[in-house]
Amino acid sequence: MSVKELAATINDIAIRGKGILAADESKPTIAKRFASIDVENNEEHRRAYRELLFTTPGMEEFISGVILFEETLSHKAADGTPFPKLLAAKGVVPGIKVDRGTIPLTNSEGDKVTQGLDGLGERLQNYKQQGARFAKWRSIYPISAVNPRRLAMQTNAEVLARYAAICQENGIVPIVEPEVLIDGDHTIERCEEVSEEVLFNVFAALHRHHVSFEHMILKPSMVIAGKSCSQQSNVDEVAKATIRVLLRTVPGSVATINFLSGGQTEQQATAHLNAMHRLGVTLPWNLSFSYARALQAPCLKTWQGKPENVKPAQEIFYKRAKLNGAASCGEYETSME
């Protein structure tokens, strides 16, 4: 493990007022995004859209890292500059999604486990040569009356820990992403119960695998009621429940926690992050964002796949990055929308 190398990456990412752009949508996922604006899902459109994001003037003021998809890591801007080099020149750290998606977990009905550990060390070395300095691995936890089952929580924690250890061994900072899904009719209390147990299992496994907490990034869900729940919580309730769970489960030595937006609207994700910083609680970690849709949705809708819309789309993307940068310092106001 190259501690100096890992520390340099953490220092470049965990900056107050800055967060991570998740631009690592798989081909099927971005196909859904493009379908919503009637744009064909082909490689050139994917490349052009990512270039729009990465070349947005001033995005580096609020974005310290970008998670790329494997295809995007090898793409180039129109002038021939590889995307990782383009980002690095702006002071933005390139990263890479390395998991291979989820499959049903045998003997744990309703639960899933994430694939991709085979050959991971070799892949990481190739990604590193292309410019990636951090990686991301996502495990998912659906909530029902019985899910996630203990087997699922323990299995996914073990896989996340093995991934993180392999990353650090190769000089790559791991983003550990245990996503408690927002789908369903569960209450915020049920989400809090599940989130606490999930994170407890994750950090126990990370400790067993000798993962350095100082050189990793946690990307958790916020504690929030399911989308179909009849009783939705207000912003302060979400903030309080989320911070309560984090303080109970996450070691203070973890450098930075960057939330996923997980099905929230862009305004909700921004408001919830902002509220956490206004609780008056002393937090041991940097607390920021690692959003995909909550940063990109208005930009994508404006772009519509048309070259003449690139500039207005970039302006909207810049605005959402700026608002989330403010939220990560507790300085966001709804009037700024």
Which residues contact residue 109 at a Cβ distance below 8 angstroms, ignoring those fewer than 6 apart? none
Number of Cβ atoms within 10 Å of the Cβ of 329: 15
pLDDT at 1: 66
pLDDT at 2: 87
Indicate whether 172 pLDDT > 80.
yes
Indicate whether 174 pLDDT > 90.
yes
pLDDT, one tens digit per residue, over 289-311 is: 999 999 999 999 999 999 999 99
Indicate whether 332 pLDDT > 70.
yes
- E-state strands within 142-270: 173-180, 217-218, 256-259
Q: Tokens 């909550």 sit at which residue?
A: 294
* From the candidate CATH numbers 3.20.20.70, 3.40.190.10, 3.40.50.620, 3.30.2320.80, the one assigned to the domain spanning 3-336: 3.20.20.70
pLDDT, one tens digit per residue, over 192-239 is: 999 999 999 999 999 999 999 999 999 999 999 999 999 999 999 999
Q: Residue 186 and residue 179: Cα distance in Å, rounded?
A: 15
Q: Of 158, 177, 192, 266, which one is the catalytic site residue?
A: 177
Task: Determine contact, residues 258/297, Cβ cutoff 8 Å.
Answer: no
pLDDT at 262: 87
Average pLDDT, the chain: 97
> 103 is written with which tokens?
């499959």
- Give the length of the chain: 337
Task: Determine contact, residues 326/274, Cβ cutoff 8 Å.
Answer: yes
For range 10-22, the mean pLDDT: 98
Q: Tell me, yes or no, if 128 is annotated catalytic.
A: no
Q: Tokens 């089952």 sit at which residue?
A: 149
The share of the chain scoring above pLDDT 70, in percent, equals 100
pLDDT at 231: 95
Q: Of 97, 112, 136, 219, which one is the catalytic site residue?
A: 219
For range 122-139, the mean pLDDT: 98
Tell me which DSSP letter residue 76 carries. B
For range 187-196, the mean pLDDT: 98
Indicate whether 76 pLDDT > 80.
yes
Which residue ranges make up each domain of the chain?
A: 3-336
Q: Tell me, yes or no, if 177 is annotated catalytic.
A: yes
